[in-house]
């Protein structure tokens, strides 16, 4: 069983001793490797070699000289999952409203009620907790849709949390919906880019975040020519949330006329859009982030994740977690939810006829959770598949655990059988971030105290201040 006894600790010590060595080599041997690279497919009994922060080779016997050798027999190696949209600052309010029935209730309680009282330290705690939980469940790249940027200090705290956890972080910055704030967004993006997004081993990416329309929080946060110009001037991608319904369909067509659609733009949710809007999305190469549990559980517009609409116009979407105030934290659940909903609807749609249902597969949803997620975040050349030359963001998943053995189909085991307890190791940029089933470099007791203190402050802040 890989990494499961004293040798796992010994291996980690060897890796840590050489962590600053750009030529450090790590060789995983004897694994089933799900590369998510069409040119390599699934390799059985294969090896994967990491040099520094990069995947150097995959196959058999790529060379052991000077490498720390990890016996990965009985394990599946996959790319790390990629989360394309999560409001990380809210994480200390997890499941505070598990049965929320509509978007309005979430907006009133979280964005109008709790968000205005957040201090920079609360931004840090929420984002840190989200990122560490992501790593624990195999998400190596997370887009933090940070829409509570009340001051530069709030933004700095959110970015610093990404840095401190070691995740491949995408900070998508947006001003707050409601309450008092300093009005320095989006102008502060230039400072953020200069101060934070040049170093850190290339682990950080900055994006501009916006809303689809002015219906929730007014025109200042709505995507359009002005915000698009800001993003273009800074060389940033854009993520647009709350893309659903007739008003968003009209907005998409307006963006098409203005030349604002394209691969650097991500539309989040995309439920209930018109056929004309979808045609514009597909023809422009605009990317889409689906939130399967959010759409279905909260009931956003049609409440059906728009997977069939996306695939019909040639868009392979990324997947996202969205809001932990009401939803799960992990990518396994997103894959399974989308897989089940789409296949259910496909069969139901042809029931009683002689037509054959067009069903997605477990490979499809794993593709959405890895390679397509990376593409959606603008990082397809960096991560999302186990391809030589890409950064070493990968998972070691035990296939001989009680809930996974015996290994018959590797992709099916990852998507339908596994969960966070089966993830023996997580590497990000070649660095171990989880090992022997434990997230590294975390003082759990201190973190617990900080999370509880932050939650108690946010929940106990005076109502007059909350309403701002």
Q: 66 and 120, same structural domain?
A: no
Residue 392: pLDDT band (50, 70, 90) is: very high
Q: Which of 14, 11, 43, 42 is nearest to 30 (CA)?
A: 43
Q: 356 and 220, same structural domain?
A: yes
Q: Are 81 and 140 in contact (CB under 8 A)?
A: yes
- CATH code, domain with 34: 2.30.40.10
Give residue 141's pLDDT: 98
3-state secondary structure of 164: helix
Residue 466: pLDDT band (50, 70, 90) is: very low
Q: 152 and 99, same structural domain?
A: yes
Q: Per-residue pLDDT tens for 207-265?
A: 999 999 998 889 999 999 999 999 999 999 999 999 999 999 999 999 999 999 999 99
Give residue 1's pLDDT: 42
- CATH code, domain with 308: 3.20.20.140
Q: 415 and 281, same structural domain?
A: no
**Domain end position, chosen among 352, 376, 400:** 376
Give residue 91's pLDDT: 98
Q: Per the domain annotation, does 358 fall within a domain?
A: yes
Give residue 467's pLDDT: 42
Q: Per the domain annotation, does 354 fall within a domain?
A: yes
Task: Copy the structure tokens of residue 122.
Answer: 């609360």
Q: 307 and 234, same structural domain?
A: yes
Number of domains in the chain: 2
Q: Per the domain annotation, does 283 fall within a domain?
A: yes
Q: 344 and 391, same structural domain?
A: no
Q: Are 85 and 434 in contact (CB under 8 A)?
A: no
Q: 196 and 71, same structural domain?
A: no
Q: Per-residue pLDDT tens for 300-310?
A: 999 999 999 99
Give residue 16's pLDDT: 83
Task: Copy the structure tokens of residue 230.
Answer: 């800001």
**For helices 331-350 and 362-369, what crossing angle results, to 10°?**
140
Q: Per the domain annotation, does 421 fall within a domain?
A: yes
The pTM of this model reads: 0.96
Q: Which domain holds residue 76?
A: 6-80+384-439
Q: Per the domain annotation, does 138 fall within a domain?
A: yes
Angstrom distance (rounded) from CA 50 to CA 78: 14
Q: Per the domain annotation, does 260 fall within a domain?
A: yes
Q: 102 and 222, same structural domain?
A: yes
Residue 461: pLDDT band (50, 70, 90) is: confident
Cis, bond preceding 186 (omega within 30 deg of 0): yes
Has residue 279 got a pLDDT over 90? Answer: yes
Q: 41 and 128, same structural domain?
A: no
**Domain end position, chosen among 333, 349, 376:** 376
Q: Per the domain annotation, does 261 fall within a domain?
A: yes
Q: 366 and 396, same structural domain?
A: no
Q: Per the domain annotation, does 462 fall within a domain?
A: no
Give residue 269's pLDDT: 98
Q: 216 and 154, same structural domain?
A: yes
Angstrom distance (rounded) from CA 298 to CA 56: 43
Q: 144 and 199, same structural domain?
A: yes
In sequence order, the β-bridge partners of residue 169 are 142, 204
């Amino acid at each position: 069983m890989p990494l499961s006894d004293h040798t796992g600790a010994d291996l980690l010590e060897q890796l840590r001793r050489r962590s600053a060595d750009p030529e450090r080599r790590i060789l995983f041997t004897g694994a089933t490797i799900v590369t998510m690279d069409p040119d390599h497919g699934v390799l059985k009994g294969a090896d994967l070699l990491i040099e520094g922060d990069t995947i150097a080779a995959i196959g058999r016997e790529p060379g052991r000289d000077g490498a720390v050798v990890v016996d990965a027999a009985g394990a599946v190696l996959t790319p790390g999952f990629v989360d394309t949209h999560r409001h990380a600052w809210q994480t200390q309010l997890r499941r505070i409203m598990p049965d929320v029935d509509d978007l309005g209730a979430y907006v009133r309680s979280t964005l109008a009620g709790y968000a205005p009282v957040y201090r920079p330290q609360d931004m840090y705690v929420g984002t840190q907790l989200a990122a560490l939980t992501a790593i624990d469940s195999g998400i190596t790249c997370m887009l933090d849709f940070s829409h509570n940027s009340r001051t530069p200090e709030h933004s700095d705290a959110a970015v610093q949390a990404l840095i401190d956890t070691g995740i491949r972080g995408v900070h998508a910055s947006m001003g707050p919906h409601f309450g008092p704030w300093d009005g320095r967004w989006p102008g502060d993006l230039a400072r953020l880019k200069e101060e934070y997004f040049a170093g850190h081993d290339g682990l950080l990416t900055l994006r501009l975040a916006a809303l689809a329309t002015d219906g929730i929080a007014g025109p200042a946060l709505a995507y359009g020519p002005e915000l698009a110009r800001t993003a273009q001037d800074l060389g940033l991608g854009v993520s647009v949330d709350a893309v659903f319904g007739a008003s968003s369909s009209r907005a998409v067509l307006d963006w098409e006329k203005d030349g604002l659609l394209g691969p650097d733009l991500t539309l989040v949710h995309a439920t209930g859009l018109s056929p004309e809007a979808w045609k514009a999305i597909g023809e422009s190469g605009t990317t889409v982030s689906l939130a399967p549990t959010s759409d279905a559980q909260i009931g956003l517009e049609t409440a059906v994740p728009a997977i069939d609409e996306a695939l019909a116009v040639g868009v392979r979407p990324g997947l996202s977690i969205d809001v932990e105030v009401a939803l799960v934290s992990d990518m396994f659940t997103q894959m399974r939810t989308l897989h089940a909903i789409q296949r259910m609807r496909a069969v139901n749609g042809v029931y009683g006829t002689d037509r054959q249902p067009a069903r997605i597969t477990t490979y499809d949803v794993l593709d959405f959770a890895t390679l397509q997620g990376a593409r959606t975040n603008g990082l397809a050349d960096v991560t999302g598949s186990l391809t030589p030359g890409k950064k070493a963001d990968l998972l070691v998943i035990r296939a001989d655990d009680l809930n996974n053995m015996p290994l018959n189909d590797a992709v099916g085991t990852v998507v339908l059988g596994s969960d966070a307890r089966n993830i023996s190791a997580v590497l990000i940029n070649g660095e171990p971030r989880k090992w022997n089933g434990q997230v590294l470099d975390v003082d759990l007791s201190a973190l617990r105290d900080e999370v509880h203190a932050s939650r108690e402050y946010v929940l106990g802040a005076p109502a007059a201040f909350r309403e701002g």
